[in-house]
C-alpha cells in the first residue's frame, strides 16, 4: 500500500510543530514530577486513560471512522503498540533517573533516525547529502551526551535509561512511518490508538506493579492530568495530522526543538544543572537540523 501524498509545510504547519514541541518538552517535566509516586507503568496507563477520555467522546460525536480491511487494522494495532504502549513505558521508567534536559535531548535525536527510515520505506522522502550530514551530526550529539566513559560502564543505571530513551525514540520513528499508510482522520485515529493502548497498559500495570497508588500528592495529580490532556491527547492529534500532511522526516526534524524547550524547562522549573556536555550535544543536534533544512546541492542542480 502506498503512502498518502505529502506537501511542503506552510506557516500554520510550522506553528503547529512548534506548539507540539513545547507540549512534548513540558511533558518530560510532568513525568519527572509524577512518576516517583505513580510508578512507571501505571503512569503510562493513567496518562493514556486520560487521553482516551479527552479524545474518544469527540471521535464518537463526529462519527467514528473504523479501519477498512485486515491490513488497516494490523497497521493501527502495530502503530498503537509502537506509538503508545512501548514508548510510554520506556519513557516513564527512564524518567525515574534522567533529568528532563537529557530525556528531551535523546528524544530529539529521533528525527535523524526518521531520515533513515523515510529513505528506506517511502518513495517520496529520500535521503540526500545534506540529510546524511545531519544524521552524522545528530549521532555525534548522542555520543557527546552519553560520553565516552559511559561505554566503560554499560551496566550503569543512567546509561541503561539513556539507551531506553533512544529505543523509545526508535519506536516513535517506526510508528510515524506506519501512520502515513493508515486511512483514518487524525483525531479519530489518535482516539483509537489511545484506546488500544489503554486496553493493553492497564492489565500490564496491574500484573507487573500491583494496584495503583491512590494517595497521590496534588503536584503529582496535576502533572498526571496535564500529561493525559496535552502531551498524550492534543499533541497526538497534531502529530497524526502533520505526518499525514507533510511527511514524517519534515515533521520530525522540527522535533529537534524539543531539546531546546526541555533543557530550558528543566533548568527553570526543576532546577536541573546545565552541563557543558548537554550544551555541546544540543549545539550538534541543532546544527544537524540547520543542515537538513537547507536545499540539497543535487536538487538545485537538477532544477537549474
pLDDT of 218: 94
Count CB atoms within 10 A of the CB of residue 92.
Answer: 24
Which of 153-157, 214-218, 259-263: highest mean pLDDT? 214-218
Q: Which residues contact 248 (CB under 8 A, 6 or more apart)?
A: 114, 117, 118, 122, 125, 173, 176, 177, 179, 180
Q: How far is residue 78's CA from residue 179's CA, in Å, rounded to a whole number?
A: 10
Q: Kindly state the average pLDDT of the residues 213-230.
A: 93
User: What pLDDT, on the 0 to 100 scale, is given for residue 240?
Assistant: 75
Q: Write down the pLDDT at residue 153.
A: 43
Tens-place pLDDT, residues 5-57: 667 777 788 788 888 888 988 999 999 999 999 999 999 999 999 999 988 88
Task: Say which residues have a Cβ less than 8 Å from residue 178's Cβ, sequence separation at least 6.
Answer: 75, 78, 79, 82
**pLDDT above 60 (res 157):** no
Q: Which of residues 234 and 82 earns the better pLDDT score?
A: 82
The whole-angstrom separation of Cα 104 and Cα 297 is 31
pLDDT higher than 80, residue 175: yes
What pLDDT score does 62 carry?
73
* Residue range 77-109, pLDDT digits in tens: 999 999 999 999 999 999 998 888 788 877 876
Predicted pLDDT of residue 73: 92
Which pLDDT score is estimated for 270? 81
Between CA 292 and CA 10 the distance in angstroms is 17
- Other CB atoms closer than 10 Å to residue 117's CB: what's the count? 20
Q: How far is Cα 17 from Cα 103, in angstroms, rounded to an integer?
A: 19
Is residue 163 within 8 Å of residue 205, measured between CB atoms? no
pLDDT tens by residue, 113-142: 666 666 665 555 566 677 677 767 766 776
User: Pick the residue with more confidence: 94 or 153?
Assistant: 94
162 has a pLDDT exceeding 70: yes
Query: pLDDT tens digit string along 246-283?
Result: 776 677 666 767 777 887 888 888 887 777 777 887 78
Inter-axis angle of helices 100-107 and 129-146, to 10 degrees? 150
Indicate whether 171 pLDDT > 70: yes
Task: Give the gyration radius of the chain's Cα atoms.
Answer: 19
283 CB-near residues (< 8 Å, 6+ apart): 141
Pick the closest to residue 265 from 107, 106, 100 (CA basis).
Answer: 100
Distance between first and last Cα of the chain: 33
Displacement of CA 270 from its chain's centroid (Å): 21
- pLDDT single digits (tens) 182-201: 888 777 888 889 999 999 99
- Does residue 149 or residue 194 have the better pLDDT? 194
CA distance 238 to 192: 15
d(CA 207, CA 214): 17
The residue ranking higher by pLDDT, 151 or 12, is: 12
Domain ranges of the chain: 11-294
Amino acid at each position: 500500500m502506498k503512502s498518502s501524498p505529502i506537501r511542503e509545510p506552510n506557516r500554520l504547519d510550522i506553528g503547529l510543530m512548534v506548539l507540539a514541541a513545547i507540549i512534548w518538552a513540558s511533558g518530560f517535566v510532568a513525568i519527572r514530577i509524577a512518576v516517583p509516586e505513580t510508578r512507571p507503568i501505571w503512569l503510562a496507563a493513567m496518562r493514556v486513560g486520560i487521553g482516551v477520555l479527552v479524545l474518544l467522546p469527540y471521535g464518537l460525536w463526529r462519527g467514528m471512522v473504523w479501519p477498512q480491511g485486515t491490513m488497516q487494522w494490523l497497521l493501527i494495532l502495530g502503530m498503537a503498540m509502537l506509538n503508545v504502549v512501548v514508548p510510554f513505558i520506556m519513557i516513564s521508567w527512564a524518567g525515574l533517573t534522567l533529568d528532563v534536559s537529557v530525556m528531551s535531548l535523546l528524544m530529539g535525536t529521533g528525527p535523524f533516525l526518521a531520515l533513515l527510515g523515510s529513505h528506506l520505506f517511502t518513495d517520496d522522502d529520500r535521503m540526500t547529502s545534506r540529510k546524511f550530514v545531519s544524521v552524522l551530526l545528530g549521532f555525534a550529539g548522542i555520543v557527546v551526551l552519553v560520553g565516552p566513559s559511559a561505554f566503560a560502564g554499560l551496566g550503569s543505571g543512567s546509561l541503561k535509561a539513556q539507551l531506553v530513551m533512544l529505543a523509545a525514540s526508535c519506536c516513535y520513528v517506526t510508528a510515524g512511518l506506519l501512520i502515513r499508510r493508515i486511512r483514518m482522520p487524525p483525531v479519530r485515529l489518535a482516539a483509537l490508538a489511545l484506546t488500544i493502548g489503554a486496553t493493553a497498559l492497564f492489565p500490564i500495570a496491574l500484573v507487573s506493579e500491583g494496584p495503583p497508588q491512590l494517595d497521590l500528592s496534588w503536584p503529582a495529580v496535576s502533572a498526571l492530568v496535564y500529561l493525559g490532556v496535552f502531551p498524550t491527547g492534543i499533541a497526538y492529534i497534531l502529530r497524526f495530522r502533520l505526518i499525514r500532511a507533510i511527511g514524517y522526516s519534515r515533521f520530525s526534524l522540527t522535533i529537534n526543538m524539543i531539546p531546546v524547550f526541555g533543557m530550558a524547562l528543566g533548568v527553570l522549573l526543576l532546577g536541573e544543572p546545565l552541563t557543558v556536555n548537554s550544551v555541546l550535544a544540543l549545539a550538534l543536534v541543532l546544527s544537524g537540523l540547520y543542515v537538513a533544512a537547507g536545499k540539497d546541492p543535487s536538487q538545485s542542480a537538477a532544477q537549474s
